[in-house]
């Protein structure tokens, strides 16, 4: 469950290099101005209008500095601590960065406390945090990180554009107008999306030195990848103990690599309740074109390939319960391959610190579209349990749009972790203590304005190859509200959560029989009722286009 991304995750090193993408065709563009020019902008009286009027027209036109005078609708008379929950890795210098953020927040009579749930733990802790017992004001979320599930439970504080205008004046001014629709359900905003779109494609990284050891020069396609994996399992693992891939929990990222061959987009991606359709040059699909991705021909083929790899010993039979991520294992020379986004280059460099190790990254779907990671692939939600949603909104406003704070979270300390010229940054000597875009908060507050210079040629070449193929999902503004069928949906998600990881890891006796068993349970849990509501809402959305 570590990285369904997007996107995860998205929003890390190589992916952050791309310009924003938008629309329903292959294109790129910027997202630095936003709501102030939209006819949909809220007419509510803006706080401290004279102060706001002096701000730059866009985030790239000057320094944006938040001041208490901008937040006249927020009561700052009493001290308040905002508790923000995040997921993923914790950079070494995170505490130093947070100390600087809190120093900056002193004039606002506010402190920020963060709790970062690790990749291994967030799957079990996420819902518990929101269910009660913990002080929580805000939390990182995304469609791949329980966003719709928790929204349906009422775990998030919902609001409208009037709330944004009153309590988040900087966001109201600079957030891309089109982004709000992607995180809106039944007219209410359930989370604040990031302010950038970028490539969301999956690639593989391998131990190139091991590939060449066995006469494999490069990987061009899925068949080449399968051959590499089976070769490592047969010849290298018995010799050195290095697994073809040190899989952990599932093979979700590898599935994303595989499905890219079919030019498909998700219309719903919610905690294994995943529905997809084949993209056809910007056309909106009919309901008949949409299918549960786990019953697609492509997934059945993938699951059978995974069984082939598992039976060959490409990963541990205990991979379901492995708590060490495949990426960390790759960096520690315990695995010979990983799948993810551009972040694989970070782990390649980690592995290459060892003498004689050489790594390479491969795009196995060079002739296919590259998905556009939309605004809502990384969001920050205000928790329904927040004791002060307005103060929380103010802090999020500062994190998102204040130049100093946003850059601090995104890049760390200047001249220590990075150097910068305009909006082009380079890594500094101590970058490993705070890699750029390495914490999930930086994904949720990303404005897409900082570009890295001095990128390794192999990494830049990969990034450049994606740009001409970036394609937006034409159904991105469709959001399924499962309130009317929430019990059925929850039951189906639980069943899928029990079955899909094993299928992705090939740890089943018979793929077809296992899928049949899963579908029988889904039928009993009411999957048809969920689908009837899903398609009804989709047809209503489609009719309004």
Residue 186 lies in a domain: yes
Pairing of β 291-292 and β 273-278: antiparallel
285 close to 473: Cβ distance less than 8 angstroms:
no
> How are beta strands 80-87 and 138-141 bridged, if at all?
parallel
Please tell me the distance from the alpha carbon of residue 408 to that of residue 387, in angstroms, as a whole number.
27
Q: How many CB atoms lie under 10 A from the CB of residue 238?
A: 9
Structure confidence by residue, pLDDT tens digits, 480-519: 999 999 999 999 999 999 999 999 999 999 999 999 999 9
The answer to whether residue 503 sits within a structural domain is: no
- Does 160 fall in a domain? yes
Give the span between the Cα atoms of 201 and 368, in whole angstroms.
10
pLDDT at residue 38, as a whole number: 40
Domain assignment present for residue 71? The answer is yes
Q: Which of 143, 128, 126 is nearest to 85 (CA)?
A: 126
Spatial CA neighbour of 60 closest among 433, 427, 450 = 450
pTM exceeds 0.85 for this model: no
- For the chain, report the end-to-end CA distance as a whole number of angstroms: 34
Q: Residue 183 sits in a domain of what CATH number? A: 3.40.190.10
What per-residue confidence (pLDDT) applies to 422?
A: 96
Edge-to-edge strands of the sheet including 337-340?
337-340, 203-207, 359-362
Give me the pLDDT at residue 47, please. 53
Please report where in the chains the tokens 């029990």 appear, as a residue. 498
Q: Summarize pLDDT for 230-276 with one digit per residue, the tens.
A: 999 999 999 999 999 999 999 999 999 999 999 999 999 998 999 99
Q: What crossing angle do the helices spanning 511-525 and 486-504 adopt, rounded to 10°?
A: 170
Residue 331 counted as domain residue: no
Q: How far is CA 462 from CA 58, 109, 265, 303, 341, in A?
A: 30, 46, 22, 28, 11
If one counts the domains in the chain, the total is 1
Give pLDDT tens digits along the chain (545 positions): 444 333 333 333 333 333 335 433 333 333 444 444 343 444 444 556 788 999 999 999 999 999 999 999 999 999 999 999 999 999 999 999 999 999 999 999 999 999 999 998 999 999 999 998 789 999 999 988 999 889 989 999 999 999 999 999 999 999 999 899 899 988 899 999 999 988 899 999 999 999 999 999 999 999 999 999 999 999 999 999 999 999 999 999 999 999 999 999 999 999 899 999 999 987 999 999 999 999 999 999 999 999 999 999 999 999 999 989 999 999 999 999 999 999 999 999 999 999 999 999 999 999 999 999 889 989 999 999 999 999 999 999 999 999 999 999 999 999 999 999 999 999 999 999 999 999 999 999 999 999 999 889 999 999 999 999 999 999 988 989 999 999 999 999 999 999 999 999 999 999 999 999 999 999 999 999 999 999 999 999 999 87
pLDDT of residue 170: 98
Taking the C-alpha atoms of residue 132 and residue 128, their distance in angstroms, rounded to an integer, is 7
Structural domain boundaries enclosing 406: 13-199+375-468
Q: Is residue 256 included in any domain, yes or no?
A: no
Beta-sheet pairing, 110-117 with 80-87 = parallel
Going by the DSSP 8-state scheme, the letter that residue 42 receives in this structure is -
Query: Which of 62, 61, 55, 156 lies closest to 384, judged by CA?
Result: 156
Q: Is residue 231 part of a domain?
A: no
Strands 273-278 and 192-193: unpaired
The secondary structure element, H or E, covering residue 418 is strand 418-421
CA atoms within 13 A on the CB side of 389: 16
Among 129, 329, 135, residue whose Cα is nearest residue 247: 329
Distance CA 75, CA 58 (A): 27
Q: Which two tokens stand for residue 16?
A: 């952050």
Give the SS3 label for residue 73.
Answer: coil
Instruction: Return the pLDDT at 545.
Output: 79
Please indicate, yes or no, if residue 205 is contained in any of the structural domains. no
């Amino acid at each position: 469950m570590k990285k369904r991304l997007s996107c995860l995750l998205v929003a890390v090193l190589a992916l952050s290099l791309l310009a924003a993408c938008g629309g329903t065709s292959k294109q790129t563009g910027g997202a630095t101005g936003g709501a102030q020019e939209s006819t949909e902008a809220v007419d509510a009286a803006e706080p401290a209008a004279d102060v706001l009027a002096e701000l730059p027209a866009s985030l790239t036109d000057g320094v944006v500095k938040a001041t208490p005078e901008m937040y006249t609708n927020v009561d700052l008379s009493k001290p308040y601590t905002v508790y923000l929950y995040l997921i993923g890795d914790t950079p070494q210098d995170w505490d130093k960065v947070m100390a600087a953020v809190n120093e900056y927040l002193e004039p606002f009579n506010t402190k920020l406390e963060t709790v970062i749930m690790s990749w291994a733990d967030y799957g079990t802790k996420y819902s518990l945090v929101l269910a009660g017992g913990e002080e929580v004001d805000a939390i990182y979320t995304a469609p791949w990180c329980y966003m719709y599930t928790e929204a349906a439970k009422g775990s998030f504080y919902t609001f409208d554009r009037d709330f944004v205008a009153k309590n988040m004046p900087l966001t109201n001014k600079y957030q891309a107008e089109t982004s709000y629709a992607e995180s809106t359900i039944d007219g209410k905003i359930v989370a604040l999306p990031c302010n950038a779109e970028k490539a969301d494609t999956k690639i593989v990284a391998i131990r190139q030195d091991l590939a060449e050891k066995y006469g494999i020069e490069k990987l061009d396609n899925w068949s080449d990848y399968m051959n590499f994996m089976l070769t490592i399992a047969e010849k290298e693992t018995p010799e050195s103990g290095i697994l073809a891939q040190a899989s952990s929990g599932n093979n979700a990222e590898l599935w994303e690599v595989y499905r890219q061959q079919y030019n498909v987009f998700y219309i719903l991606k919610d905690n294994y309740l995943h529905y997809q359709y084949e993209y056809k040059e910007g056309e909106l699909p009919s309901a008949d074109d949409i299918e549960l991705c786990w019953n697609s021909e492509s997934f059945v083929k993938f699951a059978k390939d995974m069984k082939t790899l598992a039976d060959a010993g490409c990963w541990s039979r205990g991979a379901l319960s492995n708590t060490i991520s495949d990426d960390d294992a790759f960096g520690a020379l315990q695995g010979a391959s990983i799948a993810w986004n551009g972040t694989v280059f970070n782990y390649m460099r980690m592995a290459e610190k060892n003498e004689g190790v050489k790594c390479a990254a491969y795009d196995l779907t060079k002739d296919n579209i590259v998905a556009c990671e939309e605004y809502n692939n990384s969001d920050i939600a205000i928790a329904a349990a927040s004791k002060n949603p307005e103060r929380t909104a103010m802090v999020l406003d500062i994190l998102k749009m204040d130049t100093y704070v946003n850059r601090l979270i995104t890049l760390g300390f200047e001249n220590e972790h990075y150097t910068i010229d305009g909006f082009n940054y380079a890594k500094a000597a101590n970058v490993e203590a705070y890699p750029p875009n390495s914490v999930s908060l930086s994904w949720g507050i990303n404005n897409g304005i900082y570009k890295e210079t001095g990128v390794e040629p192999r990494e830049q070449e990969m990034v450049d190859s994606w740009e001409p193929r970036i394609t937006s999902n034409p159904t991105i503004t469709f959001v399924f509200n499962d309130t009317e069928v929430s019990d059925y949906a929850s039951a189906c998600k639980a069943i899928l959560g029990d079955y899909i990881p094993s299928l992705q890891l090939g740890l089943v006796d018979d793929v077809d029989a296992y899928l049949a068993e899963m579908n029988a349970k889904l039928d009993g849990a009411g999957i048809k009722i969920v689908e009837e509501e899903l398609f009804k809402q989709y047809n209503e959305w489609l009719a309004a286009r």
